[in-house]
Chain A
Amino acid sequence: MIATFRMMRQVLVHPIDFYHDIQEQGRIKWGQALFVVAFAYLARMIAILITGYAFEKREPHEISFLHEFIWLVVPWLTWTVSNWGVSAILEGEGKFKEVFVGSAFALVPYAIFIVPITLLTNVLALDESSIYSFLINFTIYWVGWLLLLKVKIIHDFELVKMAWITVLSIIGILIMWFIGILMFGLMNQLINFVVDMIKELNFRR
Chain B
Amino acid sequence: MKQVSIFRFVVSMAIALLMVVTALPAQAFAATPYEGYTINNLGEDVHSINGYIYESSIDGYNLPSGPFNAPEDVFLADDGTIYVVDTGNSRVVQLNANHEVVNIIGDEEGDGKLNEPKGVFVKQDGTIYVADTKNQRIAIYDKDGKFIKQFGKPENPLLGATFSYSPSKLLVDKRNYMFVVSDGNTQGLIQIDPNGQFKGFYGANHVGFSWSRLFVKLVATDEQKAKLSVVKPLEFSNAVQDAEGFIYTTTLGTETNQLKRLSPVGVDTLNIGERRYGGRFDAGPFEVPSFLDLAVDKDGVITALDLQSSKVYQYDKLGNFLFVFGGLGEQNGLFVTPSSLAQSSDGTVYVVDKGRNRIDLFRTTPFADLVHDASKLFVDGRYKEAEGMWNEVLHLNGNFELAYLAIGKSLYKAESYKEAMHYFELARSRTDYSNAFKEYRKEYIREHFAWICLAIITIIILLRYIIPFLWRRLPALWSSRNTARTERIKGGVPHDRNV
Mask: chain A, 118-162; 1 = CB below 8 Å from B; 0 = not? 000001011100000000000000000000000000000000000
* Contact (Cβ within 8 A) B434 A59: no
Q: How far is the CB of A132 from chain B (nearest CB, A)?
A: 12
* Contact (Cβ within 8 A) B433 A53: yes
CB-CB contacts below 8 Å: A1-60 with B? 53-54, 57, 59
Chain B residue numbers with a CB within 8 Å of A123 are: 441
CB of B430 within 8 A of chain A? yes
Q: Which of A54, A59, A123, A125 has the most CB of B within 10 A?
A: A54
Chain B residue numbers with a CB within 8 Å of A125 are: 434-435, 437-438, 441
CB nearest neighbor in A for B445: A123
CB-CB contacts below 8 Å: B337-379 with A? none
Chain B residue numbers with a CB within 8 Å of A127 are: 434, 438
Chain B residue numbers with a CB within 8 Å of A53 are: 425, 430, 433
CB of B162 within 8 A of chain A? no
* Contact (Cβ within 8 A) B425 A126: no
* Contact (Cβ within 8 A) A54 B42: no
Mask: chain B, 411-436; 1 = CB below 8 Å from A; 0 = not? 00000000000000100001101110
* Contact (Cβ within 8 A) A126 B431: yes
* Contact (Cβ within 8 A) B430 A126: yes
Chain A residue numbers with a CB within 8 Å of B433 are: 53-54
Q: Which of B42, B430, B431, B434 has the most CB of A within 10 A?
A: B434
Q: How far is the CB of A190 from chain B (nearest CB, A)?
A: 31
Q: Give the contact-size bracket for chain A.
A: under 10
Task: A57 to B433: give the CA distance in the assembly, Å.
Answer: 13
Task: A130 to B430: give the CA distance in the assembly, Å.
Answer: 16
Chain A residue numbers with a CB within 8 Å of B435 are: 125
Q: How far is the CB of B39 from chain A (nearest CB, A)?
A: 16
- Inter-chain residue pair count (beta carbon < 8 A): 21
Task: A54 to B441: give the CA distance in the assembly, Å.
Answer: 14
Chain A residue numbers with a CB within 8 Å of B42 are: 59
Task: A36 to B239: give the CA distance in the assembly, Å.
Answer: 64
Chain A residue numbers with a CB within 8 Å of B431 are: 54, 126
Task: A53 to B425: give the CA distance in the assembly, Å.
Answer: 8
Task: A123 to B435: give the CA distance in the assembly, Å.
Answer: 12
Chain A residue numbers with a CB within 8 Å of B425 are: 53
Mask: chain B, 441-452; 1 = CB below 8 Å from A; 0 = not? 100000000000
Task: A127 to B437: give the CA distance in the assembly, Å.
Answer: 11
Task: A54 to B436: give the CA distance in the assembly, Å.
Answer: 11
Mask: chain B, 379-422; 1 = CB below 8 Å from A; 0 = not? 00000000000000000000000000000000000000000000
Q: How far is the CB of A122 from chain B (nearest CB, A)?
A: 9
CB nearest neighbor in A for B478: A2
Q: How far is the CB of A54 from chain B (nearest CB, A)?
A: 4
Task: A125 to B421: give the CA distance in the assembly, Å.
Answer: 12
Q: How far is the CB of B188 from chain A (nearest CB, A)?
A: 38
Task: A54 to B42: give the CA distance in the assembly, Å.
Answer: 15
Task: A127 to B438: give the CA distance in the assembly, Å.
Answer: 10
Chain A residue numbers with a CB within 8 Å of B437 are: 54, 125
CB nearest neighbor in B for A128: B438
Task: A126 to B424: give the CA distance in the assembly, Å.
Answer: 14
Task: A57 to B425: give the CA distance in the assembly, Å.
Answer: 12
CB nearest neighbor in B for A62: B42
Chain B residue numbers with a CB within 8 Å of A54 are: 430-431, 433-434, 437
Task: A32 to B435: give the CA distance in the assembly, Å.
Answer: 44
Task: A170 to B499: give the CA distance in the assembly, Å.
Answer: 57
CB-CB contacts below 8 Å: A59-90 with B? 59
Task: A193 to B165: give the CA distance in the assembly, Å.
Answer: 63
Q: How far is the CB of B228 from chain A (nearest CB, A)?
A: 34
Q: How far is the CB of B485 from chain A (nearest CB, A)?
A: 16
Task: A54 to B428: give the CA distance in the assembly, Å.
Answer: 9
Task: A76 to B238: give the CA distance in the assembly, Å.
Answer: 57
Task: A156 to B441: give the CA distance in the assembly, Å.
Answer: 52
Q: How far is the CB of A53 from chain B (nearest CB, A)?
A: 6
Chain A residue numbers with a CB within 8 Å of B434 are: 54, 125-127
Task: A53 to B437: give the CA distance in the assembly, Å.
Answer: 10
Task: A54 to B432: give the CA distance in the assembly, Å.
Answer: 9
CB-CB contacts below 8 Å: B427-484 with A? 430-431, 433-435, 437-438, 441
Chain A residue numbers with a CB within 8 Å of B438 are: 125, 127
Task: A57 to B42: give the CA distance in the assembly, Å.
Answer: 11
CB-CB contacts below 8 Å: B56-73 with A? none
CB nearest neighbor in A for B42: A59
Chain A residue numbers with a CB within 8 Å of B430 are: 53-54, 57, 126
CB-CB contacts below 8 Å: B131-147 with A? none
Task: A193 to B437: give the CA distance in the assembly, Å.
Answer: 56
**B residues whose Cβ falls under 8 Å from a Cβ of A:** 42, 425, 430-431, 433-435, 437-438, 441
Query: Besides A57-B430, A125-B434, A126-B430, 15 other CB < 8 A contacts?
Result: A53-B425, A53-B430, A53-B433, A54-B430, A54-B431, A54-B437, A59-B42, A123-B441, A125-B435, A125-B437, A125-B438, A125-B441, A126-B431, A126-B434, A127-B434
Question: What are 15 A-B pairs at a CB distance below 8 A?
Answer: A53-B425, A53-B433, A54-B431, A54-B433, A54-B434, A57-B430, A59-B42, A123-B441, A125-B434, A125-B435, A125-B437, A125-B438, A126-B430, A127-B434, A127-B438
10 tightest Cβ-Cβ pairs between the two chains A and B: A126-B434, A125-B438, A54-B434, A125-B434, A54-B430, A54-B433, A125-B437, A53-B425, A53-B433, A126-B431
